[in-house]
Structures are given as structure tokens and as C-alpha cells.
Structure 1
Amino acid sequence: MEPELARVIGHLSRARSVLFVTGAGISAESGIPTYRGIGGLYEGKTAEDGVPIEVALSGSMFRHQPERTWKHLHDIERACRGAVFNRAHEILAQLEGCFERCWVLTQNVDGFHRTAGSKNVIDIHGDIHELRCTRCDFAERVADYAHLPPCPSCPRCGAVVRPDVVLFEELLPPTKVALMEQELMRGFDLVFSIGTSSLFPYITAPVLQAARRQRPTVEINPGRTSLSEYVDVRLEVGAVAACEALWAARGQWERRG
């Protein structure tokens, strides 16, 4: 990793703005199973009654049979319960203070970037800990679902409550898309892709856009992805090892004054 690491350090030393695009791989080292979208814990499987999990966890299923969708949401949250952010999340949060502009675009719904201290976060798929009413403006944040009923209802109006995440078939949140587009329009001096399989076009777009603008790009991933042939540097290691190496070398790239 040393020659590649040296190249990344060189890119960091010249960058004033940095974007980190993160996926399931960065949270895998916290014990979170890697998954595609919100339902990937069931990837390649079906629900108990033979319904594809993409259907059970879809917006249309939630509208018509919310109790079925909630059953699987409970299963997902239970599988992740007790996990916390790791050193990679902490380092990305600390990096905010090292550049004039630094953002995280994540497709993860675990909320770890914010709990680790990052403030400039676009969680494009939402946060499974944020609940909101489907009728009124009630919203609350919960640590876990341990005390939630099978299909929670709003304490104000009685309507069904849902996690503030993007289910299958649903559109991305317009306000988050607008923020993402605004920051991408400004451009970044350096773009990282960390621990993502790069399946969604809005996750690959920042890297490809930077490449077209001849801005350096870095992929941190033990395996190859659809982006691997387009990035300038690949660090074929896990997110924690890569981030710790970059943080340990910050004396070589961190801007002074």
C-alpha cells in the first residue's frame, strides 16, 4: 500500500476541498452486515411468505400493509443493535477541520457519521433511528427499536410512524438531492470512494464527475468495483486501516495556517 499511500498523501497536501463517499464497507468493521439499500440483510432471500424482500420493504407495501414492512425493519435494526461507529468514522469527522470544505455523502442508514462527530453529512438514504409520522409533523430520534411496538403509531394523531429512510421504489429526498447537487456543482479538489460497491448512479457520479474535471480520485475498498478502472489511486484495504494510515501521516499533508 505504500506507493499508493504516498500518492494519496500528495493529493491531500494540495486539496482545499474533499468529498468522502461512503458505503456499507465503512460500517462493516463496526459489525454492521453489508447490504444493498435498506434490505440487503436479506439479499438473495425472500420474506417468510415468499414475497421478495424488495417488495416487503417497498414504499407501496408500506402504504398498504405497514405491519409487514415494519416486521422486516425490526429485523434489520435488531441485527445491527449495539453496534457503534468505528475509527474510520471518527477520522472522517476529524478531517472536517483539516480542509476549507469537507463533506461526507453516505448511502448508509446507521447514522454513524453524525454520531462520530461529522457535521457536513448528506445521508442520502436517511437514518433508521429517525422516526416520523406519515400524517403530521411529529418526529423523534430513537436509540433503537427495542421498546417500539410491532407497527408504531403517532402519539399525536394516531397515524402510522415510519423510519426516515428511503424504501424500495421511493424517490430520494428532494432536499438532500438539492444539497448534494449544490455541493457537487461547486466541485471538490479530491474525491474518495470508501467501502461502497458503487451500484447507484448518484454514488458513482461524484467520482466520475471529478475524473472528468481531472481532479484526483481515490477508492478505498479491498475488492474491485465498477469505479476501480476510473480512479487515480486504489487502496486495497479496509476503511479503518486506510483511514488510520492517512491520519497517522497527516503531518505530511495537513495544511498549516
Structure 2
Amino acid sequence: MDESATLDAVAALLADASRILFITGAGISADSGLPTYRGIGGLYHERLTADGLTIEEALSGHMMAARPALTWKYIAEIEANCRGAQPNAAHRVIAALEREKPDAWVLTQNVDGLHRAAGSTRLIEIHGTVHHLRCTECRHERTVEDFAGLRLPPECPACGGVLRPDIVLFGEMLPAPAVGRLEHLIDAGFDLVVSVGTTSVFPYIAGPVWWARQAGVPAVEINPGDTEVSHLVRHRLRMPAARAFEELWRRLHPEAG
């Protein structure tokens, strides 16, 4: 099936489905100019950090506890490379489909907040968000637009402890409320699962696609490269996310031109 025919088939699935799960990873935000940690063009592609560590070691829960200044150094570096990014067509079309489909949800690994900025509300940010800070010692929390002007590592104004972004660092557990919400949604079932811009290396990201395969529910992958779930889906669009969703929206709303 050629690209145009595959787009037609995926658009037809989107039109017919009521309950849709969009699963998104770094690839969807790449079209907003955000770099990935790894992969071609990533900030740490095939190299160690300046401190001789892998990025996974630097951004681990253990390192945050032992050497918070070092972990904050790399969190801030990544945030600076992402600062000012805006939602792209993929984020916007997914948010628009949420408004049309009352039972559409987004499961994202991204901590950049772009889905929320685009208007998504039925959203599971499984790895948290970089814009929400919490104290490692007390219950103080705050929301920031970016890290400009922050003294690193930032100090909690309530107790003097270290603030950290409310994100899941390497080696840490996923937030129980987010996991519970995802499990509840999977139990209720979906009509369509769409994996976008993720290699699906984590079991909880690949899991819904495996569920779809076992349940006989169609699944779609939008990703230029091969991934852990490519062999499981009914249709593959080997395209960047923004272009794919622009084409799909055009087919779903031909009157919009």
C-alpha cells in the first residue's frame, strides 16, 4: 500500500473510532525543534556527558539524591535547548480530535508540556512535566514557565531543601495515579491505538499496542523508523508526525481546504 492509500486507510479508522489512545514520544516534539536525548541528532548521541557519564546516569534518581547539582546541570541543559518551543501540527490535530472524540486520550512520555499547551486535557503525562517543581524534603510545590533565572540547584523557600522537576528520572518508579488511570482505560478498551514518534522500548508504552493486537483492535504507527511495535500494527506511516497529522486532518476535514 502506498503512502496516500495508507493515509486514506488511517483517516478512515480515525473517522470511525470513538475511543482512541494516542501514544506519543520524543518524535512528535522533534517537529517543534526539540532535540531528543539519544538518536540521530540527539543531544547525547553516541557520546558521554561532559562529566564522563551517560545521560541515563546523570539523569537518574540516585544521582539527584547524591549530587543534585550535577543532575540539575543536565536537566537545565535540556530545558534550555527546548525553551520557547511551541506545539506543532501533530499536537494541535490530536487536541482537535480530542474535542471531536469525547473518549480520546493521550499517553505521552514527553515532559515538555506541549500537548497541554496545544489544548489536550485527557492527558496522561506518564513521566511528569519539567515545568512543575517539588521539594525533595517537604510538600512545597511550584510551577515555572522555564528555568531562566533559577539558581541551580534551586532551594525550597519553605524548608531550604532541594527543588526538583516533577519528572520520572532513570531508575525511579512511575507515578501510581498515572499508571492506575492507564490501566483503567485499557480495561475499558479502545477502538483504535495510534503510536506516534516513539521507539516503544518501555513495556508500558508498547503494552497498549500489544493489547490492541491481542484484542483484534486496529493499531497504527507514525514514525519514520522501525520500532519495537512496528510488526504489531495494521498500518505504518513512515513520516514525521506533523506532516502525517496535517495530511490526516485534510482527509478528515476536506472542507477546510
Counterpart residue number, 1:145: 147
Number of residue pairs the alignment of both structures matches: 250
1:102 Cα deviation after fit: 0.5
Gaps of 5+ in 2: none
Contact preservation (8 Å) 2:37, 2:55: no
Counterpart residue number, 1:199: 201
Q: Secondary structure of the equivalent of 2:233?
A: coil
Q: Note the aligned Cα RMSD (angstroms).
A: 1.5
Quick one: which amino acid aligns to residue 226 of structure 1? E
Distance 1:202 1:220 in 2: 18
Quick one: which amino acid aligns to residue 205 of structure 1? G
Counterpart residue number, 2:80: 78
1:14 pairs, out of 7, 16, 19, with 16
Contact preservation (8 Å) 2:129, 2:167: yes
1:5 Cα deviation after fit: 1.4
Distance 2:6 2:116 in 1: 29
Q: Taking every aligned residue pair, what percent have the same amino acid on both sides?
A: 50
Q: Secondary structure of the equivalent of 1:41?
A: coil
After superposing on structure 2, the runs of 4+ consecutive aligned residues of structure 1 that deviate more than 3 Å are none
1:170-209 paired onto structure 2 within 5 Å? 170-209=172-211
Deviations 1:166-201 (A, max 9, x none): 111111111111111111111100000011111111
Matched, 1:46 2:48: yes
Q: Secondary structure of the equivalent of 2:92?
A: helix
Distance 1:251 1:116 in 2: 19
Q: Secondary structure of the equivalent of 2:43?
A: helix
Larger mean Cα displacement after TM superposition, 45-54 or 98-107: 45-54
Distance 1:36 1:167 in 2: 15
Distance 1:216 1:108 in 2: 24
Distance 1:4 1:121 in 2: 27
Q: Secondary structure of the equivalent of 2:216?
A: coil
Counterpart residue number, 1:55: 57
Counterpart residue number, 2:226: 224
Counterpart residue number, 1:120: 122
Q: Secondary structure of the equivalent of 1:229?
A: helix
Quick one: which amino acid aligns to residue 25 of structure 1? G
Q: Secondary structure of the equivalent of 2:137?
A: coil
Change (3 A) 1:144 1:125: same
Change (3 A) 1:49 1:9: closer
Deviations 1:202-229 (A, max 9, x none): 1111111011100011101111212111
Distance 1:167 1:218 in 2: 29
Q: Secondary structure of the equivalent of 2:217?
A: coil
Distance 2:121 2:129 in 1: 14
1:242 Cα deviation after fit: 1.0
Counterpart residue number, 2:163: 161
1:42 Cα deviation after fit: 2.2
Distance 1:22 1:143 in 2: 22
Distance 1:147 1:243 in 2: 36
Q: Secondary structure of the equivalent of 2:232?
A: coil
Larger mean Cα displacement after TM superposition, 44-53 or 116-125: 44-53
Contact preservation (8 Å) 2:8, 2:251: no
1:14 Cα deviation after fit: 2.2
Contact preservation (8 Å) 2:223, 2:241: yes
Quick one: which amino acid aligns to residue 244 of structure 1? E
1:64 Cα deviation after fit: 1.3
Counterpart residue number, 2:66: 64
Counterpart residue number, 1:233: 235
Counterpart residue number, 1:35: 37
Distance 2:186 2:230 in 1: 21
Change (3 A) 1:4 1:92: same
Distance 1:129 1:60 in 2: 21
Q: Secondary structure of the equivalent of 1:62?
A: helix
1:9 Cα deviation after fit: 2.2
Alignment TM-score, normalising by the size of structure 2: 0.93
